Amino acid sequence: MNEQLEVVAEGGGRWEEERADEWLFGQTTDRRQIGVSFLADGRAQVMVWAPRASWVALAIEGNPDSLPLDKEKFGYWCLTTDQLRPGDRYRFVLHGPEDAPPLYRPDPASLAQPEGVHGPSQAVDTGLFYWEDACWINPPLSSYLIYEIHTGTFTPEGTFAGIEQKLDYLKALGVNAVEIMPIAEFPGRRNWGYDGVLGFAAHHAYGGAKALHHLVNACHYRGMAVVLDVVYNHFGPEGNYLDDFGPYLTDQYQTPWGKAVNFDDAWSDGVRRYVIENALMWLRDFHIDALRLDAVHAIKDFGPVHILRELRQHVDALTASTGRTHYLIVESDLNDPRVISPLAEQGYGMDAQWVDEFHHALRVTGGGERTGYYADFQKIYHLSKSYIDAYAYDGQFSAVRQKRFGLRAERNPGHQFIVFSQNHDQVGNRKGGERSSQLFSFDMLKLMAGAVLVSPFIPMLFMGEEWGETNPFFYFVHHSDPALIRAVREGRQKEFEAFYDGGQMPDPQSRSTFRQSNLQWSLPTQEPHQTLLRYYQCLIAIRKQLPALHHLSRRHLRALPDEANQTLVLHRWHTDAHVLCLMNFSKETRLIPLPDGEHRWQKLFDSSAEEWQGLARTGPSPSPESVLSGEAIPVRPESLVLYGRGHERLHVVMPPAIPSPLFMPT
**Which residues are annotated as catalytic?**
294, 331
Contacts of residue 173, defined as CB under 8 A and 6 or more positions apart, other chains included, come to 147, 466, 533, 536, 537, 540, 658
Contacts of residue 90, defined as CB under 8 A and 6 or more positions apart, other chains included, come to 36, 58, 59, 60, 61, 84, 107, 120, 121, 122, 123
Q: Is 426 annotated as a binding residue?
A: yes
Interatomic CA distance for residues 391 and 14, integer angstroms: 49
Q: Is 355 annotated as a binding residue?
A: no
CA distances from 576 to 453, 550, 580, 631, 653 (A): 21, 14, 13, 21, 20
DSSP-assigned beta bridge partners for residue 571: 558, 580
Largest CA distance in the chain: 89
Beta-strand pair 177-180/225-230 = parallel
Q: Is 294 annotated as a binding residue?
A: yes
Q: Is 293 annotated as a binding residue?
A: yes
Nearest CA among 23, 12, 18, 17 for reference residue 45: 23
Give yes or no for a contact between 578 and 644, defined as CB atoms under 8 angstroms apart.
yes
In 131-186, where do the E strands start and end?
146-149, 177-180, 184-185
Interatomic CA distance for residues 119 and 186, integer angstroms: 12
Neighbour-count burial of 560, counting CB atoms closer than 10 A to its CB (0-12 exposed, 13-18 middle, 19+ buried): middle
Q: Is 425 annotated as a binding residue?
A: yes
User: Which amino acid makes up residue 506?
Assistant: P
Q: Is 203 annotated as a binding residue?
A: no
Q: Is 297 annotated as a binding residue?
A: yes
Q: Is 175 annotated as a binding residue?
A: no
Q: Is 227 annotated as a binding residue?
A: no
Give yes or no for a contact between 497 and 509, defined as CB atoms under 8 angstroms apart.
no
Interatomic CA distance for residues 423 and 433, integer angstroms: 11
Phi-psi map region of 229: left, alpha, beta (phi>0 left; psi -120 to 50 alpha)? beta
Beta-strand pair 121-122/184-185 = unpaired
Q: Is 359 annotated as a binding residue?
A: yes
Interatomic CA distance for residues 333 and 382, integer angstroms: 17
Beta-strand pair 590-593/103-105 = unpaired
Neighbour-count burial of 501, counting CB atoms closer than 10 A to its CB (0-12 exposed, 13-18 middle, 19+ buried): exposed
Give yes or no for a contact between 633 and 490, defined as CB atoms under 8 angstroms apart.
no
Using the 8-state DSSP alphabet, how is residue 467 labeled? Answer: G
Angle at CA 293, nearest 5°, toward 217 and 133?
15
Interatomic CA distance for residues 34 and 495, integer angstroms: 37
Count CA within 13 A, CB hemisphere, residue 418: 27
Q: Is 427 annotated as a binding residue?
A: yes
- Main-chain dihedrals φ then ψ at residue 73, nearest 5 degrees: -75, 160
Q: Is 429 annotated as a binding residue?
A: yes
User: Which amino acids are annotated as binding site for substrate, given as ranges?
Assistant: 292-297, 356-360, 424-429
- Binding residues, as ranges, are 292-297, 356-360, 424-429
